[in-house]
Amino acid sequence: MKSIKSKLYLFVVAIILIVAIGAITLSYMISSNQIDRVYKHVTTSSAETFAKHLDGDYLRDLRILLESDEYQAIRNKAELEKNDTLVKNYLESKNMWNQYNIIRKDLDEYIDSMDEIKYVYIVAHGYENAIVDMYMIDDSEQTLYDSAGRWEDREDVYLGQDLTKIDPDISYSDEWGWLVSDFAPVYDSEGNCVCIVGCDVDYSNIIASKQNFLIVSIAGVSGLIVIILIIGLTIVNKNLIIPLKTIANEIHKFKPTNDTLNSGVISIPEMTDRIDEIGQIYDSIRGTQFEVVDYFKSITNMREDIDTLKGEIDEQNLVIDKLNIESSKDALTGVNNRNAYLKKIKELSTDQIKLDYAIVMIDINNLKEMNDQYGHKVGDWYIQGCCKLICNVFKHSPVYRYGGDEFVVIVDGDDFINKQDRFNELVELFDKASQKETDRPWERLSAACGMAEKSTDDWSPEFVFKRADENMYKNKIQFKKEHGNGGQV
């Protein structure tokens, strides 16, 4: 079992760690979210700003041209031959090159003017369910055949979405690194969205800065935790652990006697003026110890009177015990009598949660016939024989002589575990004894038996007794049917 010192130390350490971790996490999340919002806003504004300066009608006509089979054939050939001139010549032939080149240069200048922007490009506006998008214009670092009319699979994150309505997104890929991306629509003079301007802002440096901030925060807070722990544990040790340990050591010295000086009553001078909880504990223990010493004094004063009366009380108890034994025993059989049974029933009634038990009711058969024909002395022998048979079967349960020819057994303990076997044995022994024609009449023991077990809805042992008596009575009737008038009650 851990000491209170260990528990308090663990508690202090746990609280400080929880607060520190919570502070670091909260600080990191707040700063990180703020930076994310700023960069998303920059990305969105950059895309929208560039989109506002574009000629939507020109881009509409350019899109139609780039989507044509004629141009796609030329672009494929240019890509195969790695020859941008084929694309340029075709656009010049369609009077589309000058404006295309102006927009391309504007893209270069726009990217160069802002350090955060990594890519700006124009893509044909596709439907939500589109799985490919067509690039229309890209910066001059890209070849013309890659920039104009190249179809590319739509990224998984944008599948099923209208690119003009999505929120700015922070993503990572092995090819591009960390980017913040957003799109702005470009409309023609008729209000149709013909293309979108995509803007990617480099976020790799910000991710690295976040990681450095987290590392620095953890290192700084760790150092602060160590300092706080040292101070906190020192304060706890001085103001709580040491006083409690001192009190505990002094308590062990207390050996109560009837002499205050020799009892080792707790005495710690520095605790006398404390008014906090530790002082209250000290005062309470000291007061209790004085009460114990006073109690011992009272006990010592009472001992002489007790010793004087002890002899008389012992003699009285012996007499009472003898009377109790005699009053609870049956004079003829030596087993418990009816008074003892009623007392036991009262105990069982008071304690309803007592162990499970059963009651066996035995009514001796032919007792009247035995008394009439052979005399009451023989009848007593007959009763004693039946009682002995009952006691031999239920060796671990109390047997009571309930009436002149009635016995009751309260079956518990090992007998209860094997109650049915014991009951069957009792019935079988009486049955065999009654049929031994070679024995003398008073040795042909016979009795009617009935048993009932305590159930959960029995409010009183009387209910169990009643059921046992009913079962015994049924057995008595059966005996009369089989043996005629010989089965007298």
Model confidence at 487, in pLDDT bands (50, 70, 90)?
A: very low
- pTM for the model stands at 0.46
Residue predicted with more confidence, 487 or 253: 253
Say whether pLDDT at 309 is over 60. Answer: no
- Cα radius of gyration (the chain): 53
**Cα separation of 445 and 405, whole Å?**
12
Give phi and psi for 478, each to the nearest 5: -60, -40
Residue predicted with more confidence, 305 or 47: 47
pLDDT tens per residue across span 425-471: 999 999 999 888 888 888 999 999 999 998 888 778 899 999 999 99
| Closest by Cα among 256, 245, 255, 251 to 286 | 251
What would the mean pLDDT of 330-347 be, rounded to a whole number?
92
Model confidence at 189, in pLDDT bands (50, 70, 90)?
A: very high
CATH of domain 338-486: 3.30.70.270
Q: Across-strand partners of 275?
A: none
Q: Please say whether the beta carbons of 453 and 464 come within 8 A.
A: yes
What would the mean pLDDT of 6-31 be, rounded to a whole number?
81
Say whether pLDDT at 305 is over 70. Answer: no
Model confidence at 214, in pLDDT bands (50, 70, 90)?
A: confident
| Closest by Cα among 328, 331, 349 to 339 | 328
Q: Please say whether the beta carbons of 328 and 376 come within 8 A.
A: no
For residue 187, give both structure tokens.
């409309």
What would the mean pLDDT of 78-106 be, rounded to a whole number?
95
Q: Is 369 helix (H, G, I), strand (E, B) or coil?
A: helix
From-to residues of CATH 3.30.70.270 in the chain: 338-486
Which secondary-structure segment (H or E) carries 14? helix 4-52
Is the C-alpha dihedral spanning 365, 371, 376, 377 positive or negative?
negative
Distances from the Cα of 149 to the Cα of 53, 124, 140, angstroms? 21, 9, 15
Per-residue pLDDT, 320: 47
pLDDT tens per residue across span 246-273: 877 878 777 777 666 677 778 787 777 7
Q: Is 162 helix (H, G, I), strand (E, B) or coil?
A: coil
From-to residues of CATH 3.30.450.20 in the chain: 4-210
Q: Where are the alpha helices (DSSP H) in 203-251?
A: 204-236, 242-251
Per-residue pLDDT, 481: 85
What would the mean pLDDT of 107-130 be, rounded to a whole number?
87
116 contact partners, CB below 8 Å, separation of at least 6: 39, 42, 201, 202
Say whether pLDDT at 348 is over 50. Answer: yes
Say whether pLDDT at 394 is over 90. Answer: yes
Q: Please say whether the beta carbons of 358 and 452 come within 8 A.
A: yes
Say whether pLDDT at 360 is over 80. Answer: yes
CATH of domain 4-210: 3.30.450.20
Residue predicted with more confidence, 153 or 127: 153
**Cα separation of 47 and 40, whole Å?**
11
Per-residue pLDDT, 107: 93
